[in-house]
Amino acid sequence: MHHIIYLSQATIPFNEAQLQHLLTQARDFNQMHQVTGMLLYGNDQFFQVLEGEKATVQLLYAHISQDPRHRDVITYADKAIPKRAFMDWSMAFQALPPQQLIEFAGYISPAEVQLERTNLGQADTLLLQLLRSFVLPEGS
């Protein structure tokens, strides 16, 4: 297994319909190619985790990096992992208050994500904490 975690700036602000279209495309692709992960959108930025076979994830990331909807792409992690952190999520998505996220298929509340995992290094744990802080209200 391999994962890539990145942050990018949207070249245009996305409205809800555009985000839903992007999410539908991502979930369809990811289900066909056994990619899992999560996508966060806020302040015209995307923060995403992609997990799967190395070649598939790297090819998808190369495509995203060249997508005209993204600029200033920053890679936070691009490495082998012992197992998926988002095994049941073809693509979790957040652009709503956390309590509304449960409506999306295959998604659990961000508060339920277990950060204490023996298979994660310190950097990965910090990245997951950052992801949680992106979607949870302050103090959660």
How far apart, in Å, are the Cα atoms of 28 and each of 1, 34, 94? 20, 10, 17
Domain assignment of residue 103, yes or no:
no
Q: What is the predicted pLDDT for the residue at 80?
A: 92
Domain CATH code at residue 11: 3.30.70.100
> What integer best gives the mean pLDDT of the chain?
76
* Contact of 16 with 95, CB cutoff 8 Å: yes
Residue 105 main-chain phi, psi, to 5 deg = -60, 140
Q: What is the predicted pLDDT for the residue at 27?
A: 87
Domain assignment of residue 63, yes or no:
yes
Taking each helix axis from N to C terminus, what angle separates 16-33 and 54-66, rounded to the nearest 10 degrees?
150
Domain assignment of residue 40, yes or no:
yes
* Contact of 45 with 10, CB cutoff 8 Å: yes
Q: What is the predicted pLDDT for the residue at 107?
A: 41
Indicate whether 101 pLDDT > 60: no
Indicate whether 106 pLDDT > 50: no
pTM confidence score: 0.68
Number of structural domains, the chain? Answer: 1
Q: What is the predicted pLDDT for the residue at 34?
A: 94
Host domain of residue 73: 2-96
